[in-house]
A = this chain, B = another copy of it.
Amino acid sequence: MTTGILKGGIRHDEMRRSNRSLVIGAVRRAGKLSRTEIAGLTGLSQSTISAIAADLISEGIMLETEHASSTATTRRGRPQVALTLNPEAARAVCLYLSYNQLLAAIVDYSGATIRSTSQTLDTLALGREELIDAVMGAVRNITDGQGQFMRIVFAFQGVTDARANEVLWSPIVSHSNIPFGSLLEDAFSVPVSVQNDCNLIATALHWKNPERYGKNFLAVLLSHGIGMGLMLNGRIFTGIRSSGGEFGHMIHKPDGSLCRCGRRGCIEAYAGSYAIQRRAQDENLHAPLADTHGADLQSLLATARASEGPARLAFREAGQAIGFGLGSLFSLIDPAPVALIGHGTAAFDILEPEIRTALAQTAAGDIASELAFEVWPDEVPLIQEGSAMSALISVDQDVFGPGLRILGAEPEVVA
Contact = CB atoms under 8 A, between A and B. Distances in A.
A229 to B, nearest CB: 12
A32 interface: no
Interface string A3-14: 111111111101
A67 interface: no
B333 A41 contact: no
Given A48-B9, A361-B254, A361-B263, A240 B43 contact: no
Interface stretch (A70-78, A96-104, A245-253, A296-304): A245-253
A388 interface: no
Interface in A66-122: none
A1 interface: yes
Contacts of A3: 203, 206, 215, 231, 234-235, 393
Contacts of A266: 363
State the copy count for this chain.
Answer: 2
A316 interface: no
B332 A362 contact: no
A29 B42 contact: no
A209 interface: no
Given A263-B363, A266-B363, A331-B247, A26 B41 contact: no
Contacts of A239: 332-334
Contact of A8 (B42, B261, B335): B42
Interface stretch (A17-25, A273-281, A339-347): A17-25
Interface residues of A, number: 79
A236 interface: yes
B362 A246 contact: no
A328 B18 CA distance: 38
Interface string A353-390: 00000100111010100000000000000000000001
Nearest to A240: B334
A2 interface: yes
A165 interface: no
Given A254-B361, A332-B239, A332-B244, A10 B19 contact: yes
B216 A240 contact: yes
A327 interface: yes
Interface in A152-177: 162
A245 B332 contact: yes
Given A263-B365, A331-B247, A362-B263, A25 B2 contact: yes
A180 interface: no
Nearest to A264: B361
Interface string A116-158: 0000000000000000000000000000000000000000000
Given A10-B15, A334-B244, A5 B250 contact: no
6 contacts: A7-B41, A254-B361, A264-B361, A265-B361, A328-B328, A329-B332
Top-10 shortest CB links A-B: A9-B44, A239-B334, A249-B363, A250-B328, A240-B334, A246-B331, A9-B42, A4-B29, A241-B334, A249-B331
